[in-house]
């Protein structure tokens, strides 16, 4: 069943289908995509960078990045087409993080898991000792 939603771009109410934007905003995005794609199809522009595409077409950076992430513009076809890593800002062609940030995240997770394992071992040891009762004979001389 259809669901009413607000467009994430213009906040207009629309019947939600496959996308989170209304028909008008969808058509604007499609027009922007066609503008960018026509620019990149020309042989002299195939090696344009993100900044050069923005300057030449007037299409916003976030929209071009969205086209790349949706795999509508492929870095394999346009070799200098890259966007910034979400953590450090280095240029990448796929995903959200560059290789160095991904490795750093993996190392942090590994260190966290090791620390959790040590803490769990300590908790288990304390639990095993918690069930033990000691009797002290106070009257023994």
Chain segment 26-42, per-residue pLDDT in tens: 999 999 999 999 999 89
Per residue in 49-67, pLDDT (tens digit) is 889 999 999 999 999 998 9
Helices (H), 42-98: 50-57, 61-69
Helix and strand counts by DSSP (H, E) for the chain: 4, 4
Place of tokens 């026509």: 38
pLDDT in tens, 78-128: 888 888 899 998 988 888 899 999 999 999 999 999 999 999 988 888 776
pTM (2 decimals)? Answer: 0.67
H-type alpha helices, 45-98: 50-57, 61-69
Beta bridge partners of 5: 14
Q: How many residues are listed for the chain in this entry?
A: 141
């Amino acid at each position: 069943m259809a669901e009413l939603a607000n467009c994430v771009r213009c906040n207009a109410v629309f019947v939600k289908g496959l996308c989170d934007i209304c028909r008008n905003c969808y058509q604007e995005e499609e027009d922007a995509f066609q503008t960018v794609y026509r620019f990149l199809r020309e042989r002299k522009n195939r090696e344009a960078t993100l900044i050069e595409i923005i300057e030449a077409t007037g299409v916003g950076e976030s929209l071009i990045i969205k086209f790349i992430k949706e795999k509508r513009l492929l870095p394999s076809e346009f070799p200098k087409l890259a966007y910034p890593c979400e953590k450090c800002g280095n240029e990448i062609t796929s995903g959200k993080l560059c290789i160095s940030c991904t490795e750093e995240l993996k190392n942090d997770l590994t260190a966290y898991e090791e620390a959790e394992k040590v803490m769990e071992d300590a908790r288990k040891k304390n639990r095993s000792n918690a069930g033990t009762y000691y009797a002290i004979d106070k009257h023994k001389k």
